[in-house]
Structure 1
Amino acid sequence: MLRLSFFFSLICLVKTDTDETCPSFTKLSFHSAVVGTGLNVKLMLYTRKNLTCAQVINSTILGNLNVTKKTTFIVHGFRPTGSPPVWMEDLVQSLLSVEDMNVIVVDWNRGATTVIYNHASSKTRKVAEVLKKFIDQVLVEGASLDNIYMIGVSLGAHISGFVGKMYNGQLGRITALGYKEPLANIDFYPNGGLDQPGCPKTILGGLQYFKCDHQRSVYLYLSSLRENCAITAYPCDSYRDYRNGKCVNCGMPQKESCPLLGYYADNWKEYLKQKKPPMTKAFFDTAEEKPFCIYHYFVDIITWNKNIRRGSITIRLTDRAGNTTESKINHEPATFQKYHQVSLLARFNQDLDKVAAISLVFSTGSTIGPKYKLRILRMKLRSLAHPERPQLCRYDLVLMENTETVFQPILCPKLQM
């Protein structure tokens, strides 16, 4: 069964064909993009035997390729300038660091380099046919379709899909970076799938304004290959429901696990097999900078104001070493009613193990008029990333609007946990 792992972001970018000892990715000029290029597909194999020096292979010369191991194809996309993808080498090395496999870079820069997108897209099926011919020969040599994995970026995702269709959905796995609409067994939507934090918001950001959001998918995937950043995603019907904390029960005791973004998303495949149809949307948020990880907490608040209060909460955590991390829960106003628990999803850039102090700020968003108070009967902080950690509480707080209140938390009674 074809297993696709999609999530939204954007483009990709590629050294000359020479008789060099270590073949490199085809590098073309902007002039080539203007005049256009004819299609030529070069397959470059990397393994742990040749980590940094590629072997050019084809259906008759397999080089170091071991047919008993996983074979991962990396397929780039549209090349409007002819330059190499800046992420390609990092992706190759990262894949080989986590698993002993064959990594094949599909260099179709001659064909993808053009300023006219449709000219590049018209060549994608031909690239897929070249790959089909190569895979057919690998299968003859003893490889298995289950061990074929394709990672496609931008138009490379389309090529990967065409190859998958040629094998009637029997490829082991396809990961497509660069498409918004739900198409896969699981579709990942970072930050809702639109503008990405840390990317320029206006054209004044130069070239990054056009490619940063699109390329973020590749860098998020790369983060999944590093030990210090396992990005958890949450199956949900909408980004709004996710932000409101309605879809974060996975991973809790007695619940199914949460899918992980990127390379290890396939660990969720047993759950995917149970879905009918097998299609899931998963949402998550990221930080502005690498490695992009966000750590989720629930802030449970019970108030005892006589009147309803609506507003946002900013929470700051400080550990014993003085490190701080802050979350502004202001995507939409929360409604606080007397003796009613409100559970707010807080997102922090750092994961502080030993929280020594917590600060809260309540705001209605109004710059004029009276300042309100939020009378808190109980506040509880609980980690989603580490549900085994003790939950932290505080009782009988009064928050003056727009005024920071700092306090030391205490362990919640076990009956509340």
Structure 2
Amino acid sequence: MAKAAIYLAIVAFATVTAIKIEPRGSSVCDPDPKLGCYSNDPPFDRFLIPLPQSSTDIGTKFRLFVRGGVGYDYLDYNSPSSISSSWFNGNKDTKIICHGFLNDGDTKWMHNMKDAFLANDDVNVIIVDWGGDELLTGSQTGYLTATANTRVVGDQIGELIKALPTQRSRVHIVGHSLGAHIAGYAGVRASGTGRISGLDPADPNFQGQANAVKLDKSDALFVDVIHTDADTFTLADGLGTSDRSGHIDFWPNGGKSQPGCGLLKHATTKGIDLSEAKEIQPRGGIGCDHNRVPALYTESITSTCDFLGYPCANYDDFKNGKCMSCGGKCASMGYKAGLYKNINFAQQLYLNTNSGSKYCTNSYMVKVKTGDVSYAGTGADVYIRIYGSAGISHDTKLSGDFERNDEDVTIINSDTYLGNIYRIAIWHDDSGLLSGWYLQSVVVQGGGSSSYLFCYRGWLEDSPNTKYLTPVSSC
């Protein structure tokens, strides 16, 4: 802990003192002639953002991994032989993974993702390491300088893509936080790049900026984005942007707070590896929401679960069951989002996830109608179990007041895809002052599928009172 505290103190000090702010119109030319010069002319005239460090100081490295390979090859776009003598195969798709602030090429989530890519398909995987060779360089510096350095790293990736003997449309870049914006710069440098997946693109110094400064859908042929920490930025929260940034933007659990992260959003949350100290220390141990997204994406690569997102105006409408009909505009979050690249998504896509691996869940809307008779409501807890052709849900407590002539909606999450629904069980636990309940009807809908109507029109009295209902066409 003492070492970590010293590290953070150095980083904080560097953020304030080790930057040189040049007047607008200043520029710096990189020693690598392929990269050229960088100025702070608009739109790169952001407050307190210095000119970038040199590519020599940043020390970006590209490591190539292939299926069945032992170790890795270093690639250098300025050395054609490093590519021609490597295991790179231009007839295969290429995945490029890029980290963000304070990470480096040994960050565990990058290797977890690399392993998932290689397990799923025979591809080239390139890990980008811009962690810097020395302290206070690359990503291992103050955030303001790291922000400036993203321009150089993005251009370096773009130059690598141009040097690779493959079609650019076969290149897919995945970037987290600052790495998402780096991916955008790379796509601009190497026009025609096939796909960029932005994992909670960083908010500070990017949100609300011109498209040239941040990741946006013009940076690749297809851009998909996942938002997990898009709350108001407070130094302890809201590290991800709330700007819509892609052709498809997904907002799991509303995109602001992730289940299991807790009030303080500590790194001890299930799914966050404590060995990744530098990944969560920049905000004093608070970064769970922001750092959840690489795990979500990695799971989506090999999972048979779809991470299905529903088009909706906002998360409240989704939670209230107003968006469970896909209308041909649902899409799978994560790796499989590429299957939907030819669909125009006018709305943002919402979904729920679990608090730990496995994260993927299947959402079902349950709408319960209480009858219009005297004393129809109940203060008891109401439960449901759903039976489908492919599985059975767990017993779930429904939310609502269950008052006379009222409808109550609950979104339940099932680890199992249920298939066609053929029966439900519904009951209450006899608690409360008025435990008797007049149930009119139940509607179940999920997965963009048809709605299933269940009619009862009767009382559920003292426990045990479980009623088994089958679908009907009308009530």
* TM-score grouping bracket, smaller chain normalisation: 0.7 to 0.9
Report the CA distance shift for 1:32/1:84 in structure 2 as closer, same or farther (over 3 A). farther
Q: 1:101 aligned to 2:123?
A: yes
Matching of residues 369-388 of structure 1 within 5 Å: 371=434, 374-380=437-443, 382-385=444-447, 387=449
Q: CA deviation at 1:343?
A: 5.5
**What SS does the aligned partner of 2:290 have?**
helix
Match of 2:185 among 156, 159, 162: 162
Report the CA distance shift for 1:286/1:228 in structure 2 as closer, same or farther (over 3 A). same
Task: Report what 1:174 is aligned to.
Answer: 196
Q: 1:137 aligned to 2:163?
A: yes
Task: Report what 2:63 is aligned to.
Answer: 44
Report the CA distance shift for 1:213/1:343 in structure 2 as closer, same or farther (over 3 A). closer
Asked if the contact 1:394–1:409 (Cα under 8 Å) also holds between the matched residues in 2, the reply is: no
Report the CA distance shift for 1:360/1:83 in structure 2 as closer, same or farther (over 3 A). farther
Match of 2:300 among 197, 209, 224: 224
Task: Report what 2:425 is aligned to.
Answer: 358
For 1:314 and 1:117, how far apart are their aligned partners in 2? 50
For 2:408 and 2:434, how far apart are their aligned partners in 1? 21
Structure 2: 5+ residue stretches without partners = 1-5, 15-52, 202-240, 269-276
Q: CA deviation at 1:409?
A: 1.7
Q: 1:411 aligned to 2:444?
A: no
For 2:152 and 2:311, how far apart are their aligned partners in 1? 36
For 1:53 and 1:311, how far apart are their aligned partners in 2? 62
Task: Report what 1:84 is aligned to.
Answer: 106
Asked if the contact 1:359–1:404 (Cα under 8 Å) also holds between the matched residues in 2, the reply is: no
> What are the Cα deviations for residues 252-307 of structure 1, in whole angstroms up to 9, with x where unaligned?
xxx415200100101111213xx5xxx54111111111111222223243332247
Asked if the contact 1:392–1:409 (Cα under 8 Å) also holds between the matched residues in 2, the reply is: no
Q: CA deviation at 1:315?
A: 2.9
- Aligned partner letter, 1:379: V
Structure 1: 5+ residue stretches without partners = 1-28
Bigger shift: residues 311-320 or 170-179? 311-320
Asked if the contact 1:223–1:229 (Cα under 8 Å) also holds between the matched residues in 2, the reply is: no
**What SS does the aligned partner of 2:342 have?**
helix
> What are the Cα deviations for residues 12-60 of structure 1, in whole angstroms up to 9, with x where unaligned?
xxxxxxxxxxxxxxxxx9499659793101101111241x521111221
Asked if the contact 2:93–2:171 (Cα under 8 Å) also holds between the matched residues in 1, the reply is: yes
Task: Report what 2:288 is aligned to.
Answer: 212
Matching of residues 189-268 of structure 1 within 5 Å: 189-202=251-264, 210-250=286-326, 255-256=327-328, 258-268=330-340
For 1:394 and 1:357, how far apart are their aligned partners in 2? 11
Task: Report what 1:23 is aligned to.
Answer: none
**What SS does the aligned partner of 2:308 have?**
coil
For 1:218 and 1:106, how far apart are their aligned partners in 2? 15
Match of 2:245 among 174, 177, 183: 183
For 2:378 and 2:363, how far apart are their aligned partners in 1? 23
Q: State the TM-score, normalizing by the size of structure 1.
A: 0.74
Task: Report what 2:385 is aligned to.
Answer: 317
Match of 2:459 among 378, 398, 408: 398
Asked if the contact 1:232–1:259 (Cα under 8 Å) also holds between the matched residues in 2, the reply is: yes
Task: Report what 1:9 is aligned to.
Answer: none
Q: CA deviation at 1:149?
A: 0.8
For 2:150 and 2:430, how far apart are their aligned partners in 1? 53
Q: State the TM-score, normalizing by the size of structure 2.
A: 0.66
For 2:316 and 2:379, how far apart are their aligned partners in 1? 17
For 1:387 and 1:164, how far apart are their aligned partners in 2? 37
For 1:342 and 1:358, how far apart are their aligned partners in 2? 17
**What SS does the aligned partner of 2:90 have?**
coil
Report the CA distance shift for 1:357/1:31 in structure 2 as closer, same or farther (over 3 A). closer
Q: How many residue pairs are counted as aligned between the two chains? A: 361
Task: Report what 1:283 is aligned to.
Answer: 350
Asked if the contact 2:252–2:352 (Cα under 8 Å) also holds between the matched residues in 1, the reply is: yes
Task: Report what 2:223 is aligned to.
Answer: none
Report the CA distance shift for 1:31/1:199 in structure 2 as closer, same or farther (over 3 A). closer
**What SS does the aligned partner of 1:346 have?**
strand
For 1:221 and 1:203, how far apart are their aligned partners in 2? 20
For 1:386 and 1:286, how far apart are their aligned partners in 2? 17
Report the CA distance shift for 1:33/1:67 in structure 2 as closer, same or farther (over 3 A). farther
Greater percentage in strand:
1
Q: 1:347 aligned to 2:413?
A: yes
For 2:99 and 2:178, how far apart are their aligned partners in 1? 7
Asked if the contact 2:384–2:426 (Cα under 8 Å) also holds between the matched residues in 1, the reply is: yes
- Aligned partner letter, 1:222: T
Task: Report what 2:227 is aligned to.
Answer: none
> What are the Cα deviations for residues 99-139 of structure 1, in whole angstroms up to 9, with x where unaligned?
2211110111114443521121111111112112212222x
Q: CA deviation at 1:87?
A: 1.2
Report the CA distance shift for 1:280/1:85 in structure 2 as closer, same or farther (over 3 A). farther
Asked if the contact 1:317–1:325 (Cα under 8 Å) also holds between the matched residues in 2, the reply is: yes
> What are the Cα deviations for residues 313-370 of structure 1, in whole angstroms up to 9, with x where unaligned?
75342879x987244454xx578663x7665433334456798873444999xx9xx6
Task: Report what 2:228 is aligned to.
Answer: none
Report the CA distance shift for 1:217/1:347 in structure 2 as closer, same or farther (over 3 A). same
Q: CA deviation at 1:215?
A: 1.2
- Aligned partner letter, 2:319: R
**Percentage of identical aligned residues:** 24
